[in-house]
Amino acid sequence: MTKIRTLVVDDEPVARAHVIALLRDEPDIDVVAECANGAEAAEAIQRTSPDLVFLDVQMPELDGFELIQAVGQDRAPAIVFVTAYDEYALRAFEVRAVDYLLKPFSAERFRAALAHARAHVSDRTAMTVNRQLMELLPHLRRASPGRDRIMVKSSGRIYSVRTSDIDWCEAAGNYVRLHIGQQQHLVRDTMAHIEADLDPAQFVRIHRSAIVNVDRIQELQSSFGGEYVVLLRGGTRLTLSRGYRDTLQTRLGRPL
């Protein structure tokens, strides 16, 4: 079970003790610190990186809103305000507080606020993980050695094709045509998926409709308007699109 790291901030010892006592009954809550003022809380947030803070509004040195401003609203953990004054409720939600507990509150009301906080922390964690995965995906694909073989169905039979034997790949509607010597195989797939499956050290996209095996490139020939033709061993001539010129240049290790 993943614990929700929780901080309790209140300048009244009895009030802090009451919140902590209620939290002890929750198996997924880990109270990492308690603080008596905003300055202590700011330091504790930096030190413990809590997921959730039960925060009093009126405190010495820094009040609850000043604390959020000091930490930074975008970097602040989930906040449940705990106060004896309902006049702060609107302002609490303006700073995106998860909930607002008005003293004195019942155990049921506290559990309802905690449920809101759990959902908020879970959503925020999921969004963070998804964002990190999306940021990592291009690096994972670049680091991937690619698949050694691709399964191809042709004339009622299934073939195992070694990717290193592929000369080039051509977009063909809802299919991709694999050129292997004198043979051609149609695979029902997209160019993007095929490109992701191939070893990026061996294959390079030169056009939205063409991926080539770098080892099959014989020469590059300049054409009109600064364009290039990629000549493969065996005589196949392909157009190098401007949008993929830098990629091929980097792969070949020399300027075009």
CATH of the domain at 153: 2.40.50.1020
Same domain (yes/no): 79, 23: yes
12 & 112 share domain: yes
What tokens appear for 147 in the block? 């698949």
Q: Which of 101, 123, 141 is the last residue of a domain?
A: 141
Q: What is the pLDDT of residue 238?
A: 92
Give the span between the Cα atoms of 198 and 150, in whole angstroms: 9
Q: Given this model, what pLDDT does residue 246 score?
A: 79
Element (DSSP H or E) covering residue 162: strand 157-162
- Using N-to-C axis directions, what is the helix angle for 38-48 and 64-71, rounded to 10°? 40
**Do 83 and 153 have their domain in common?**
no
Q: Alpha-carbon distance 118 to 28, whole Å? A: 9
Sign of CA dihedral 87, 88, 89, 94: positive
In contact, 6 and 29? CB cutoff 8 Å: yes
CA gap 256, 229 in Å, rounded = 11
Q: Are residues 17 and 89 in the same domain?
A: yes
Phi first, then psi: what are they for 20, rounded to 5°? -65, -40
Residue 68, classified by CB atoms within 10 Å of its CB into exposed (0-12), middle (13-18) or buried (19+), is: buried
Pairing of strands 29-35, 78-83: unpaired
Q: Contact, 202 vs 209, CB < 8 A? A: no
DSSP 98: S
pLDDT by residue, tens only, the chain of 256 residues:
689 999 999 999 999 999 999 999 899 999 999 999 888 888 888 899 899 999 988 887 677 888 777 777 566 788 898 888 766 556 665 666 788 888 889 999 999 999 988 988 887 655 554 454 444 445 444 444 556 777 777 666 777 788 899 999 999 988 899 999 998 988 888 888 888 888 888 899 999 999 999 999 988 887 766 678 899 998 999 988 887 887 787 777 655 5
Q: What is the pLDDT of residues 24-33, one digit of tens each?
A: 989 999 999 9
**Could you give the number of structural domains in the chain?**
2
Query: For position 135, which CATH number holds?
Result: 3.40.50.2300
Q: Do both 127 and 104 map to the same domain? A: yes
Q: Using DSSP, state whether 229 is helix, strand or coil.
A: strand
pLDDT score at 169:
95
Q: Which of 105, 123, 141 is the last residue of a domain?
A: 141
How big is the chain by its Cα radius of gyration, in Å?
A: 30
User: Hey, what are 115's tokens?
Assistant: 């449920």
User: The domain containing residue 158 runs over which residues?
Assistant: 149-252
Residue where a domain stops, chosen among 115, 141, 167: 141
**pLDDT tens per residue across span 66-86:** 877 777 756 678 889 888 876
Residues 135 and 160 in one domain: no
For the stretch 71-78, contacts whose Cβ atoms lie closer than 8 Å and that sit 24 or more positions apart, written own/partner, are 71/42, 71/45, 71/46, 76/45, 77/7, 77/45, 77/49, 77/50, 77/51, 77/52, 77/53, 78/51, 78/52, 78/53, 78/117, 78/120, 78/121, 78/124
Same domain, yes or no, for 11 and 134? yes
Predicted local confidence at residue 39, as pLDDT: 84
The reply to whether 132 and 34 lie within a common domain is yes
Q: How far is CA 115 from the centre of its chain?
A: 26
